[in-house]
Structure 1
Amino acid sequence: MLKLLLCILILFIHAVSACELKVGVREYPPYSHKDSEGTWSGIDIDIFNYLMAEIKCDKEYIEVSFGQGVQLLKDGKLDGLSQMSITQDRLKAIEFIGPIRSETLSLITSNEVIETITTFKNIAGLPYFFGKRKGTYIGEEFNELVRKNQVFASKFIEMDNANPRIDLVIKGRVVGFFDEQRFNKYMLDNSHKYINMKVQPLKINNGLVKNSKYSELKSIK
Structure 2
Amino acid sequence: MERKVLGALCACILMLVVGIAGCTGTETPTTTDTGAKQTYIIGIDAEYPPYSYLDKDGNAIGFDVDSAKWIAEQQGFEVKFQPTAWDGIIPALQAGKIDMVYSGMTITDERKEKVNFSIPYWQVNQTVAIHNDTAVTMDNFYAGTLIVGAQRGTTGQIWVEENLIDSGKMPSENLKLYDSFPLVAADLQNKRIDAAIYDKPPMLDAIADKPAHIIGEIDTGEVYGIAIRKTDTELLETMNEGLTKLMADPYWEELKTTWDM
Q: Tell me the TM-score normalized by structure 2.
A: 0.65
Query: Is 1:115 paired with 2:104?
Result: no
| DSSP 3-state at the match of 2:166 | helix
2:177 to 152, 155, 158: 158
Specify the alignment match of 1:8 in structure 2.
none
Query: Is 1:199 paired with 2:214?
Result: yes
The one-letter amino acid of 2:179's match is: D
C-alpha contact (below 8 Å) 2:47/2:181 kept by paired residues: no
Which deviates more, 94-103 or 68-77? 68-77
Flag the 1:140–1:64 CA change in 2: closer, same or farther, 3 A. Answer: closer
For residues 67 and 195 of structure 2, the distance between their equivalents in structure 1, rounded to whole angstroms, comes to 30
The one-letter amino acid of 1:207's match is: E
Flag the 1:49–1:158 CA change in 2: closer, same or farther, 3 A. Answer: same
The one-letter amino acid of 1:56's match is: G
Identity %: 17
For residues 194 and 160 of structure 2, the distance between their equivalents in structure 1, rounded to whole angstroms, comes to 21
User: How far apart are residue 160 of structure 1 and its match?
Assistant: 2.9
Larger Rg: 2
Structure 2 residue ranges without an equivalent (≥5) = 1-28, 33-37, 245-261
User: Which residues of 2 match residues 1-221 of structure 1 at below 5 A?
Assistant: 19-25=38-44, 26-81=46-101, 82-118=103-139, 120-122=141-143, 124=144, 126=145, 128-138=146-156, 143-149=162-168, 151-161=170-180, 164-189=183-208, 191=209, 194=210, 196-208=211-223, 214-219=233-238, 220=241, 221=244
C-alpha contact (below 8 Å) 2:185/2:207 kept by paired residues: no
C-alpha contact (below 8 Å) 1:105/1:179 kept by paired residues: yes
For residues 62 and 124 of structure 2, the distance between their equivalents in structure 1, rounded to whole angstroms, comes to 17
For residues 212 and 70 of structure 1, the distance between their equivalents in structure 2, rounded to whole angstroms, comes to 8
- 1:25-67 superposed Cα distances (whole Å, 9 cap, x missing partner): 2122111232222322221111111221122112111122212
| DSSP 3-state at the match of 2:96 | coil
Query: Greater relative contact order (Cα 8 A, min sep 6): structure 1 or 2?
Result: 1
C-alpha contact (below 8 Å) 2:128/2:216 kept by paired residues: yes
| DSSP 3-state at the match of 2:149 | strand
Flag the 1:216–1:30 CA change in 2: closer, same or farther, 3 A. Answer: closer
User: How far apart are residue 118 of structure 1 and its match?
Assistant: 4.8
TM-align CA RMSD:
3.0
User: How far apart are residue 178 of structure 1 and its match?
Assistant: 0.8
For residues 135 and 151 of structure 2, the distance between their equivalents in structure 1, rounded to whole angstroms, comes to 23
The one-letter amino acid of 1:49's match is: K
Flag the 1:202–1:153 CA change in 2: closer, same or farther, 3 A. Answer: farther
Specify the alignment match of 1:10 in structure 2.
none
* More helix by percentage: 2
| DSSP 3-state at the match of 1:59 | strand
User: How far apart are residue 154 of structure 1 and its match?
Assistant: 4.0
